[in-house]
Amino acid sequence: MVDIKITDDHLSKFLEAAVINALGDSQKDLIIKEVVDHLVRKPPSGSYGHQSPSPLMAAVYTAADRLAVKIVSEKLENDEDFKAKLDDVLKAALVKVFAEKDNLASKMADAMVTAMSGGSRY
């Protein structure tokens, strides 16, 4: 008796090949066109007019974010000059925020009143 084992990966690859081989050239072209259209088509506007990026741009943004995190992490681990500059920038930003806290609180309160009253935010 022969014991045959088929893994999910093998089955998936077999089915993929079977489907691709069953399609004609025009059907393959149509599928490619639909996939590309989906990747570049922007989804409809969401709440408050927010426009989400296309799936392709969302993937690009995600890849860029991951790359940026990797680069900054490596610099933080290996570059003392970079760490010192970043520390200086963050300290300066915090000093500015706390120095202008009364003005900031006033602007935030005004924006909340405007938003709640239905007026324009800008």
Q: What is the pLDDT of residues 17-48, one digit of tens each?
A: 898 889 888 988 888 888 888 888 887 777 77
pLDDT (tens digit, 9 = 90+) per residue, 72-116? 999 999 999 999 999 999 999 888 877 877 777 788 888 888 888
CA distances for 9 relative to 3, 13, 18, angstroms: 18, 6, 14
**Entry field: residues in the chain:** 122
Q: Give the type of residue at 50.
A: H
Residue with tokens 């935010």: 121
Q: What is the pTM of this model?
A: 0.49
Give the list of residues 6+ apart from residue 39 with CB closer than 8 angstroms, or none.
54, 55, 56
pLDDT for res 107: 82
pLDDT of residue 122: 53
CA gap 113, 107 in Å, rounded: 10
Q: Where are the domains of the chain?
A: 8-41
Name the band, by pLDDT with cuts 50, 70 and 90, for residue 69: very high
Helix residue ranges per DSSP H, 43-79: 55-78
Name which of 92, 69, 95 is nearest 84 in CA terms: 92
For residue 120, the model assigns a pLDDT of 58
Which pLDDT does position 75 carry in this prediction? Answer: 92
Q: Which two tokens stand for residue 53?
A: 């990026």
Mean pLDDT of 7-16: 90
